Structure 1
């Protein structure tokens, strides 16, 4: 049985250490992996049942978009266990052209991070992105941060209602650090959520409650590597009192549906 880590970050070797440091500084945490490289991700999963990884990087300037997308595609070619997602920046000029190129490169979705990209997720520039990918590619959107308003789940609710065929993973249980707000806005919306950067904060009881509130067919296991160890995150999830059917949904079936490969 496959196990999909639906939320992992990788960067080119020459900046993988710097990228990991930057993420740690942004969230004020000690990173589980000091180097956010493909090799470090695969090494961190040795001895675990994890078989596949949705991988992405974030462009903090429009000039990084094409380089990152090419890098992710190259890594997927080298590592067939990787499922690559493109990046996009709100000020990138040719959104439609780059999305077409990403599809030609074999990338399976898009990832954005409104907080580090310093843009409201419902900004008109990103609404154009959603229009371009609706019905074509899924998107992972970092959602929630008590320090910022860029990624508040109420903004995602507006997006989901504007683009009903847009397939979205509202990362971090729909609202990192504001999990209850996320449930309030997103419980009855048409979106997925993932468990990344949430399990340690929520604990077993609240995690199980949230999975059942959203429905396990909307929840995907994610580690948020390099912030957390995929092995530790998987063990934490596996120790929780889920039914076998719930656990299968969380660890692979939901992710397969998210990327359009129905299980």
Structure 2
């Protein structure tokens, strides 16, 4: 088996991590497992046997694009695969997308709650079309968010609608297709050729429902992700192993599918 890849992690520049992690802990009423630095993430990867991690940033304002891009460029390595962020109200959105592509990044992260948009907002259609043409991956927060009011911004139906409109878009729906919207995930998303990663799902769903979704989704569209530092990488791997999935499916989830998607 090729090395394990965590498709969904977060970290910050060291000086920002000291402020950001306590603030996010208060907002979400949740405790981080790591201190939010790249060094601590790599230590966690070493402890859990994760070879590579996609590090997702979130631009909460359009003017954060450039500093996030520069930091992403500075930290990328054989272990860390950064995904910079685009803000939906960036006046230079498509130019910045092109720059991300030209610098060799493999994808971007967007978050409908922290960036205050809906996944199927029409002004984003040009972005989705261009991402499809460039072959860039879009990681989106899917489902509700623990720190925000329950407004449906990236629910399973919106995910389906966008993927129908842009069949070439490589979208990863985090949190097993939609955090705390898993009944809709099972009835609407499961079985469709849409990428889903498992973070923050194993902690909230029972094994029967987890196995049901995972065994009925196209095996090549499932990915291991943790949302680190908000869950522990080693614990997530152990919980996945306890589901007793077929060996080939387990290997695809933790390694094979991500290697193929990221063209490693």
**What TM-score do the two structures reach when normalised by structure 2?**
0.92
Matched position secondary structure for 2:49: coil
Aligned with residue 213 of structure 2, among 207, 210, 213: 210
Residue of structure 2 equivalent to 1:128? 126
2:181 equivalent to 1:183: no
Q: Deviations over 1:235-261 (max 9, x none)?
A: 221222011101110001111232244
Q: Within 5 Å, give how 1:27-176 maps onto structure 2.
A: 27-33=28-34, 35-76=35-76, 79-135=77-133, 136-145=135-144, 147-176=150-179
Number of equivalent positions: 258
Matched position secondary structure for 1:252: helix
Q: Partners in 2 of 1:191 and 1:237 — Cα distance?
A: 20
Residues 110 and 140, structure 1, Cα contact 8 Å, conserved in 2: yes
Matched position secondary structure for 1:233: helix
Q: CA deviation at 1:94?
A: 1.3
RMSD over equivalenced CA pairs, Å? 1.6
Residues 23 and 227, structure 1, Cα contact 8 Å, conserved in 2: no
Cα distance change of structure 1 residues 166 and 11 upon mapping to structure 2, 3 Å threshold: same
Matched position secondary structure for 2:159: helix
- Stretch deviating more after TM superposition (136-145 or 200-209): 200-209
Aligned with residue 258 of structure 1, among 253, 256, 261: 261
Q: Partners in 1 of 2:24 and 2:221 — Cα distance?
A: 27
Q: CA deviation at 1:7?
A: 0.5
Q: Partners in 1 of 2:192 and 2:125 — Cα distance?
A: 18
Q: CA deviation at 1:23?
A: 3.1
Matched position secondary structure for 1:44: helix
Q: CA deviation at 1:225?
A: 0.6
Gaps of 5+ in 2: none
Q: CA deviation at 1:87?
A: 0.6
Cα distance change of structure 1 residues 256 and 12 upon mapping to structure 2, 3 Å threshold: same
Q: Partners in 1 of 2:247 and 2:42 — Cα distance?
A: 26
Residue of structure 2 equivalent to 1:198? 201
**What TM-score do the two structures reach when normalised by structure 1?**
0.92
Q: Displaced runs of 4+ in structure 1, greater than 6 A?
A: none
